[in-house]
Amino acid sequence: MQDLFGHSELKDIAKKVYDGERLTREDGIRLYHSNDLLNIGRMANYIREQKNGNHAYFIVNRHINHTNICENRCQLCAFGRDADDPKTYVLSLDEIEEKARSCRDEKISEIHIVGGLHPELKLDYYQEMMRRVRRALPGVIIQSFTAVEIDYLAKLHNLSLEEVLKAMMDAGLDSLPGGGAEIFAPRVREIICDKKISGERWLEVHKAAHRLGMKTNSTMLYGHVETIEERIDHMLALREVQDETGGFLTFIPLAFHPRNTQLETMKLSRNTGYDVLKTYAISRLMLDNFDHIKGYWIMIGAKMAQVSLSFGVDDLDGTVVEEKIAHDAGADTDQYMSKERLVKMIKAAGRYPVERDTLYNVLGEGF
């Protein structure tokens, strides 16, 4: 059947993909400029199948955002607030422990905690947070603190990245989420997050974590002011680190939501359906040393997320409770999807549902 549709302008790239050859920067750019959505999807699906068979993963997890006070106030963000804003909050350690304890019966395998850069929250607060969450949820993996938060703590205490990471690990931290990567290009960061750490620094934090034996996630926030070239360069920077450390678990493309952010006035167009699916597929094709590509349903809605399973995605993330960051930016999806609905969705896409933990250990399958 492949031959019946074999007139694609992307034939040479397809050959490389099926021969297992690594794609170049130019290949990535050409893929983005092509409108041959289905052939790009089929190539990505081939690689997905090579790496993950018929499995489609999900996780049962819970999010806690401990504070929305943030010194960086990135232009891209609708969640962070200045300290004197009446709508700020900081969760006390007791409140965090209570939140963690309240999901004991939900059979979660991961707790995901990220927040703003709050000048008064010091390392001891975070260490105690880790200890208490660990106590409240024994056996649950703690995936917390973006590279941006780790860097902030290092600067606040004049410590090295390793020292901060080590201290957090000793207190219970298992893994870093992939947030704060945005687009690595300095030109873009200047516009969308001018106070945030550089792309290089973000990669340093993850490399340090990998050296200490931690596995981490990676992300790319796209669909704002970046060019196609800058997206591909972002993927290539991650690919290079992954060659070196092998510490990335997954890559998560995040479609930008402009609402309520400072970028809203720029009248940016929303990512189209083609752009969303192409970005999944192209990241699957470029990131040949990543095992997993995640379609975070909360950003794109259940329908597109399910369709993404045919465009290179093998993981739909989780049944998330209390997601604040994407929703403050106007994500029009639900905050929670039941495990039953996720399983049904995965089966209806012809995949085999597998519940995983953070490290992709299988916790349940089939259903």
Partner 1 sequence: MLSAEINVVLGKVLNGERLNMEEGVALLSCSDLTLLGQAASAIRERKHPKKAVSFVIDRNINYTNVCRCQCKFCAFYRGETDQDAYILPKEELFEKIEETLAVGGTTVMIQGGLHPQLGLDYYLEMLRSIKERYDIWIHSFSPPEVQYMVETSGLTLDEVLKQLQEAGLDSLPGGGAEILVNRVREKISPNKVSWEQWMSVMKVAHKLGMKSTATMMFGHVETLEERVQHMIRVREVQDETGGFTAFIPWSYQPMNTNLGGETATGVDYLKTLAVSRIMLDNVPNIQASWVTQGARMGQVALSFGANDFGSTMLEENVVRAAGVTNRVPLEEIVRCIKDAGFTPAQRTPHYEIIKYY
Contacts with partner 1, residue ranges (CB under 8 A): 1, 4-5, 35, 37-39, 41-42, 45, 269-277, 300-307, 309-311, 341, 345, 348-350
Between 35 and 198, CB nearer to partner 1: 35
Give least dist CB 352 to partner 1, A: 11
Give least dist CB 38 to partner 1, A: 5
Between 246 and 350, CB nearer to partner 1: 350
What is the total residue count of the chain?
367
Residue 232 CA to its chain's centroid (Å): 17
Residue 14 and residue 43 in contact, taking contact as beta carbons nearer than 8 Å: yes
Between 29 and 302, CB nearer to partner 1: 302
> Could you give the CA distance from residue 170 to residue 162 in angstroms, rounded to a whole number?
12
The residue among 308, 259, 250 whose CA lies nearest residue 279 is 308
Between 48 and 196, CB nearer to partner 1: 48
Between 199 and 258, CB nearer to partner 1: 258
| Ordered alpha helix ranges (H), 62-136 | 93-102, 123-136
Which distant-in-sequence residues (6+ apart) come within 8 Å of 296 by Cβ?
Answer: 252, 254, 305, 316, 317
Other CB atoms within a 10 A radius of the CB of residue 240 amount to: 12
Give least dist CB 296 to partner 1, A: 15
Between 216 and 271, CB nearer to partner 1: 271
Residue 44 and residue 74 in contact, taking contact as beta carbons nearer than 8 Å: no
| Ordered alpha helix ranges (H), 297-357 | 297-300, 302-308, 325-328, 339-348
Give least dist CB 164 to partner 1, A: 40
Give least dist CB 185 to partner 1, A: 22
Give least dist CB 333 to partner 1, A: 11
> Could you give the CA distance from residue 217 to residue 239 in angstroms, rounded to a whole number?
13
Question: Facing residues of 270 across strands?
Answer: none
Q: What's the count of helices (H) and strands (E) in the chain, helices before strands?
A: 15, 10
Between 67 and 308, CB nearer to partner 1: 308
Give least dist CB 216 to partner 1, A: 29
